Structure 1
């Protein structure tokens, strides 16, 4: 699940005066998270869940407002699920330059001068998934991840072995939007595809 609407979603200049990890939810985002709680509760069902949450303010605040504490066997703040690192406080002019260069170069391989590339995020997501798999025997069967748009796409890229071309053709989920991955022992299924803003250049798909 992606976090609810944050200040950075409605005011890009917020990144120039507030650290990314400290950006709060907007009032609309708080209401959005409260409304989404019932849907998440229905998805989790009766079995306890393990919750892994990015330690950023907007993700932890989203989790709190879902009001599902009684369904959580454990809640783990997981730094590997944080947003792609753009550096520290961003210069507004350079911010636009970097966005354009990243778009032209590709979101996966372009490394931000004081931050990460998508490939760097992919590596830490892979480490998280490997650790999760290693603890599968003593772990709740249901896992809720509350993270960020690009990170969620890369989690799915890893699980389904999507190509880089396909990853770059997919849009982030909306705020408070979620995807359900169901395992049947032989593999994983995604409840619905991500929106594509273009066809994947290599012709691959999400199915």
Structure 2
């Protein structure tokens, strides 16, 4: 029963009433590659252990734990006393273990939620593979192209793109629906973050993270093929630009780091345009337009007359 002051009988305000029509847009989306796994250290592990069950090495555990502290430093900066985090995690052992180690840096009251997301899993490389097969597949994939190459008995990169696309579209719908404005705090009160304090942390894999960026920024296959994988427990920060800016890698990362990850000068400039928002022009589908515009005839003052003449003929 609702009281006249807007509170319910238990004295609390429902989260729906507190949120109202405001959209709680995450300040950052942080992509994390898992720590070093036993298979990263010794490729022979692929021949004896199912891929999804491969765990972190001792080095990987330390890397993931340090990664958690670095991310906490990032999201709690600027004297933001109301920061929160929401975690997505791939369902593999090495990503879940990475989340476990990273989580040591975050008090429970700061965690809005955690979701295991199957779409974030690693590209499927088939079942058991011995080292010679792994090396051959990776060499073939590099020559053929990572996006279209189908791993024997596994997935093609474009199939990973399809499931990541579904995840990204669902993520955007969740943001629009204010789903991140609700959570569980220590006292069961909704953990509603301030407008600029929510951070989404996605713990996944190197290839998956590159595909996520490709989908989010509408990069072409050619641009994707030139991207480089993050190091173990490295993370990429998509931060929302101020004054109407979009999510951009250029706010937290400098040009040198973006070049290390394989972004071209043109792609880096686009990241800066996104961060600036209304200060610089940003064109939708600019990559595809530039690539295909030469297929169309040149514009002319008499193009309407040409159209009429072609119609009569």
| TM-score normalised to structure 1 length | 0.91
Kept in 1: contact 2:229–2:261 (CA 8 A)? no
Residue equivalent to 1:17: 48
Residue equivalent to 1:48: 84
2:66 to 9, 26, 35: 35
- CA shift, 1:5, in A, is 0.8
- CA shift, 1:27, in A, is 0.6
Task: Name the stretch that deviates more: 164-173 or 38-47.
Answer: 38-47
- CA shift, 1:61, in A, is 0.4
- CA shift, 1:10, in A, is 0.9
Structure 1 gap segments, 5+ residues each: none
Q: Separation in 2 of the partners of 1:79 and 1:111?
A: 20
The 1:50–1:158 alpha-carbon spacing in structure 2 relative to 1, beyond 3 Å, is: same
- CA shift, 1:75, in A, is 0.7
- CA shift, 1:51, in A, is 0.6
SS of corresponding position for 1:14? helix
Write out aligned runs for 1:187-202 (5 A): 187-190=246-249, 191-192=252-253, 193=258, 195-196=260-261
1:139 to 151, 155, 179: 179
SS of corresponding position for 2:155? coil
Kept in 2: contact 1:172–1:194 (CA 8 A)? no
- CA shift, 1:97, in A, is 2.1
1:60 aligns with 2:100: no
- CA shift, 1:204, in A, is 5.2
Kept in 2: contact 1:53–1:76 (CA 8 A)? yes
1:166 aligns with 2:223: yes
Task: Name the stretch that deviates more: 55-64 or 186-195.
Answer: 186-195
Structure 2 gap segments, 5+ residues each: 1-31, 77-81, 181-197, 271-313
Q: Separation in 2 of the partners of 1:113 and 1:194?
A: 32
Q: Separation in 1 of the partners of 2:266 and 2:36?
A: 31
Kept in 2: contact 1:171–1:194 (CA 8 A)? no
Q: Separation in 1 of the partners of 2:47 and 2:248?
A: 39
The 1:122–1:139 alpha-carbon spacing in structure 2 relative to 1, beyond 3 Å, is: same
- CA shift, 1:163, in A, is 1.3
Q: Which has the larger radius of gyration?
A: 2
1:99 to 121, 129, 138: 138
1:81 aligns with 2:143: no
| TM-score normalised to structure 2 length | 0.61
Q: Following TM superposition, where does structure 1 have runs of at least 4 consecutive aligned residues deviating by more than 6 angstroms?
A: none
